[in-house]
Amino acid sequence: MKQAAVVLMLFTLAGMLGAATYVIGTGTSYQNRAPVNGANDYGWCKMIYTKAEINAAGLASTGSITGIGLQVDNFPINYTFYNQHIFIRHLTASAYTQTNEPLPDSTSFSYVFSSAVTFQGDGWLQVAFSTPFEWDNVRNIEVLWKNWDGERQENYPQFRFTTSSPNYRAVYNHADGSFPTSSGTRYYNRPNLQIITAMAPEAALAVYPADNRRALNTASLIWKSGGGCPTSYDVYLDTVNPPVTLVSEGQTGTSFNPALLPNTTYYWRIVPSNPYGSPAVCPVWNFHTTTATQLTESFESAVFPPLGWDNPGTFYSSPNYPYHGSTCVFALAGTTGNLLGTPLLSLRSGSYLNFQARTTTTSGNARLRIKYSPDRETWSVLGSPISLPTSSAWQNIEIDLSALAGNTCYLGVEAFNAGSSGTVYVFLDHIIGPDPAGLIPTPELSISRVGNDVHLAWTAVPEAASYAIYASDDPYDWPSTPLLSVGPAILTHTVTSARHKFYRVAAIAE
Amino acid making up residue 12: T
Can you give the pLDDT of all 510 residues of the chain as single tens digits? 333 333 344 433 333 334 488 999 999 999 999 999 999 999 999 999 999 999 999 999 998 999 999 999 887 877 889 999 999 999 999 999 999 999 999 999 999 999 998 888 888 888 889 999 999 999 999 999 999 999 988 778 999 999 999 999 999 999 999 999 999 999 999 999 999 998 899 999 999 999 999 999 988 999 988 888 899 999 999 999 999 999 999 999 999 999 999 999 999 999 999 999 999 999 999 999 999 889 999 999 888 999 889 999 999 999 888 899 889 999 999 999 999 999 999 998 899 999 999 998 989 999 999 999 999 999 999 999 999 998 778 999 999 999 999 899 999 999 999 998 889 999 999 999 999 987 667 788 989 888 888 999 999 988 788 898 988 887 656 676 788 999 999 999 999 877 778 888 888 866
Q: Within 13 Å and on the Cβ side, how many CA atoms surround 333?
A: 34
Our CA dihedral for 200, 133, 34, 75, rounded to 10 degrees, sits at -10
Q: Beta strand 445-450 with 484-486: parallel, antiparallel or unpaired?
A: unpaired
Residues 6+ apart with CB under 8 A from 499: none
Q: Measured at the alpha carbon of residue 443, what is the angle toward residues 440 and 445, in degrees to the nearest 5?
A: 150
> What local confidence, expressed as pLDDT, does residue 305 receive?
93
Q: What is the dihedral of CA 323, 327, 328, 330, to 10 degrees?
A: 130
pLDDT value of residue 4: 37
Q: How far apart are CA 245 and CA 383, in angstroms?
A: 43
Domain 9-197 of CATH type 2.60.120: yes
Map residue 371 onto helix, strand or coil: strand
What pLDDT score was predicted for residue 79? Answer: 86
Quick check: bond before 312 cis, omega within 30? no
User: For the chain, which residues make up each domain, given as ranges?
Assistant: 9-197, 205-289, 295-433, 445-508
3-state secondary structure (DSSP) of residue 108: helix
CA 145/CA 76 separation, integer angstroms: 20
C-alpha to C-alpha distance for 112 and 4, rounded to whole angstroms: 17
C-alpha 234: how far from its chain's center?
20
- CA distance between the termini of the chain: 40
- Residue 20, Cα to own-chain centre: how many angstroms? 27
> What whole-number distance in Å separates Cα of residue 401 and Cα of residue 348?
8
Q: Same fold for the domain at 9-197 and the one at 205-289?
A: no
Count of other CB atoms within 10 angstroms of residue 260: 19
- Assign a CATH topology to domain 295-433: Jelly Rolls (2.60.120)
**What residue type is 470 in one-letter code?**
Y
User: In this structure, which CATH number among 2.60.40.10, 3.40.50.300, 1.10.10.10, 2.102.10.10 belongs to the domain 205-289?
Assistant: 2.60.40.10
| ∠ CA 77-79-81, rounded to 5° | 160
CA atoms of 194 and 127, how far apart (whole Å)? 10
For residues 340 and 335, what is the distance between their CA atoms, to the nearest angstrom?
A: 15
* Omega within 30 of 0 (cis) for the link into 209: yes
CA distance 45 to 31: 13
Q: Which amino acid is at 272?
A: P
| CA atoms of 456 and 440, how far apart (whole Å) | 19
How many residues appear in the chain?
510
Global pTM reads 0.75
Q: How far apart are CA 421 and CA 86, in angstroms?
A: 49
